[in-house]
Amino acid sequence: MNKHATCKISRLSERESGVALVAVLAMLMSVSLLVLSMVIYSHLANYGVRNDAEILRSRYVAEGAMNRVIWLVAADNYVYNTTDLVNFDYSEYEEDEERFLPDGRLRELDYYGVTVKYRIENGMGGISIDSNIDTALTQLTRVRAVDEEDMSEALTIFKNRYRDYIDTDDNVNVDGMEHEDYEELDEYTQLPRNENIYYREELWFIPDGIKFFPPDRNGRLTMINPLGMGGNRRSKPDLLQAGYSLLTNYSNLSHEDAMETLRVIREFKNAPAGEIPILGEELDPLLLANLRNYYTIANSGCYRITIEKASAGNTPSVRMDATLFDPGIETDAEFSIPFYDWLIY
């Protein structure tokens, strides 16, 4: 074999070795990526399982804490029977004598080693639509409907669509909506109900419903009372739950008076224990007198209890809402509490 043939064979072997090395490196990289993806997937699955476990645990804690708070509220009513929250002086009670009043303040409860955060509010703090939704719409838009022609027209359209939603026939009111109209929005819809609504959130199923009945910071329709509570039990919304829209539209406050009212409410709710102001002393007397014409600031005997957090540290937690009347503490063994809301979200 001559010298040139030997060199050609040597170069050919080097090329084949290089190709084999590239193939091996590519295979190693593929295997490494596969192992890395499996490790990442394992961590994600572990995180998901741990997250689900924490959520489930917080649900048990929230339910137990909810039951405890219900009976603490009932006991507070039984012992003190406090009705006036305007002139209530928290400083008259020692730090170790906690009161459970519907003031919307964020409280804490030790539930078997878990610090649970919760609020107690007036369970009938919104407007009732049990008897007539027209009254509620008028109250919520009385200023806007006068100032804005488009709002007045939209209000009339919404009322007609609401009537179509609850009536039992298929006749369409002027600018109203029946099943075929809802099908154009969603072909699988079963709307309208064609009878009285069961849940207040159904108002959002009607186009423009969220425009007239906006949600609160938690996405709940708390400006409307739960259905079935009765429209004649209390006609005024709760001042401590009033927002800017309600203050300026329902009670026709100026921007300045509305902002001042919200400031006083915010400072009242956020004040640390031992420094809680008396509401009646913080509000201007004339402003307070005007607010009393439209709102209640009293213990109605109906409560919405919200468990804001029921887990330790930064772990995830459910939230829980319950609305009920004071069950009392002297009941027979077969007594059960009727709830108007019991939500976990």
Dump pLDDT digits (tens) for 94-118. 666 889 999 999 999 999 999 999 9
Distance CA 149, CA 155 (A): 10
Residues in the chain with pLDDT values less than 70: 1-21, 46-48, 94-96, 143-149, 230-234
Number of neighbours of residue 317 by Cβ within 10 angstroms: 22
* Whole-number pLDDT of residue 141: 80
* Whole-number pLDDT of residue 149: 60
* Whole-number pLDDT of residue 276: 93
Distance CA 193, CA 191 (A): 5
* Whole-number pLDDT of residue 119: 97
What tokens were used for 310? 């029921």
What tokens were used for 69? 């708070």
Comparing CA positions, the residue from 338, 122, 165, 146 lying closest to residue 249 is 146
Long-range contacts of 270-274 (CB under 8 A, 24+ apart): 273/90, 273/95, 274/91, 274/95
Distance CA 221, CA 210 (A): 9
pLDDT tens profile 153-178: 888 999 999 999 999 998 999 999 99
Distance CA 278, CA 271 (A): 11
What tokens were used for 276? 């809680």
Distance CA 236, CA 234 (A): 6
* Whole-number pLDDT of residue 11: 53
Region class of 245: left (phi > 0), else alpha (psi between -120 and 50), else beta: alpha
* Whole-number pLDDT of residue 34: 83
Q: What value, to the nearest 5°, has the Cα angle with vertex 338 and ends 54 and 131?
A: 115
Is residue 205 within 8 Å of residue 104, measured between CB atoms? no
Is residue 190 within 8 Å of residue 180, measured between CB atoms? no
User: Could you tell me the residue ranges of all domains in the chain?
Assistant: 58-128+225-344
Distance from the Cα of residue 164 to its chain's centroid? 28
